[in-house]
């Protein structure tokens, strides 16, 4: 096996593909058999509903694509970001970093497909505590991206300095022994 496709990287690619596929399958289910687009809202639990939303923006609904040009610009920008995440993932060796990046990549691919095919991203997951909604309506891809970012940040803040440096080396790999 080449050094590019190590076991951990293949696992990462599989995670990304699985996230994208599950995201698309659930979106198909909520707008197909559940007809969420037509009914608009389905009560499920006291704290979780399905609510159909077309998100024409990106993170937190910002940078809304109000024209055909901005739609394709968002597709391009998010595809470039997904490409950067893929390259980053393929450079990592540790499964923890690869898994976090794979969640981000899979989520990005699921949302990019929506924006490419439909011009917007389908959101449906509506978590709330009474009338309080701590999140905007989201989807599996959004959740995967968020979890992936939290994993990368947590590992970078909590583990990186401890695990990457050996005795007698600075964090940049420079030896203190002259």
- Asked whether residue 121 is domain-assigned, the answer is yes
- Asked whether residue 45 is domain-assigned, the answer is yes
- Asked whether residue 2 is domain-assigned, the answer is no
pLDDT of residue 158: 85
pLDDT of residue 39: 93
Residue by residue, what is the 3-state secondary structure of 85-129?
HHHHHHHCCCHHHHHHHHHHHHHHHHHHHHHHHHCCEEEEEEECE
Q: Say whether 49 is catalytic.
A: no
Which residue in 23, 114, 126, 142 is the catalytic one?
A: 142
Q: Where are the alpha helices (DSSP H) in the chain?
A: 7-31, 36-39, 68-91, 95-118, 140-158, 160-164
Residues 62-82 have a mean pLDDT of 82
Structural domain of residue 38, as residue ranges? 7-160
pLDDT of residue 112: 94
Q: Which two tokens stand for residue 141?
A: 């891809």
- Asked whether residue 176 is domain-assigned, the answer is no
- Asked whether residue 173 is domain-assigned, the answer is no
- Asked whether residue 170 is domain-assigned, the answer is no
Q: Which residue has the higher pLDDT, 70 or 143?
A: 143
Tell me how many domains the chain contains.
1
- Asked whether residue 109 is domain-assigned, the answer is yes
Calculate the average pLDDT of the chain: 85
Judge contact between 152 and 140, C-beta under 8 A. no
Q: Please, which pLDDT band fits residue 178 given cuts at 50, 70 and 90? A: very low
Residues 115-124 have a mean pLDDT of 93
7 pLDDT above the threshold of 60: yes
pTM for this prediction: 0.82
Q: Say whether 123 is catalytic.
A: yes
Which residue in 23, 114, 123, 126 is the catalytic one?
A: 123
- Asked whether residue 82 is domain-assigned, the answer is yes
Give the least confident one: 30-34, 72-76, 121-125, 132-136: 132-136
């Amino acid at each position: 096996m080449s050094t590019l496709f190590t076991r951990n990287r293949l696992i990462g690619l599989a995670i990304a593909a699985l996230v994208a596929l599950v995201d698309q399958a659930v979106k198909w289910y909520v707008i197909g058999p559940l007809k969420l687009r037509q009914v608009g809202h389905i009560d499920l639990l006291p704290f979780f509903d399905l609510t159909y939303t077309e998100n024409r923006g990106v993170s937190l609904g910002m940078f809304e694509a109000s024209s055909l040009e901005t739609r394709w610009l968002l597709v391009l920008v998010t595809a470039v970001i997904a490409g950067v995440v893929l390259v980053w993932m393929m450079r990592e060796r540790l499964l923890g970093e690869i898994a976090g990046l794979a969640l981000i990549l899979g989520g990005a691919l699921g949302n990019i497909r929506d924006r490419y095919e439909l011009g917007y991203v389908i959101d449906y997951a509506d978590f709330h505590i009474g009338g309080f909604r701590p999140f905007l309506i989201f989807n599996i891809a959004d959740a995967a991206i968020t979890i992936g970012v939290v994993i990368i940040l947590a590992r970078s803040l909590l583990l990186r300095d401890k695990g990457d440096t050996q005795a007698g080396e600075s964090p940049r790999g420079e030896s203190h022994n002259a």
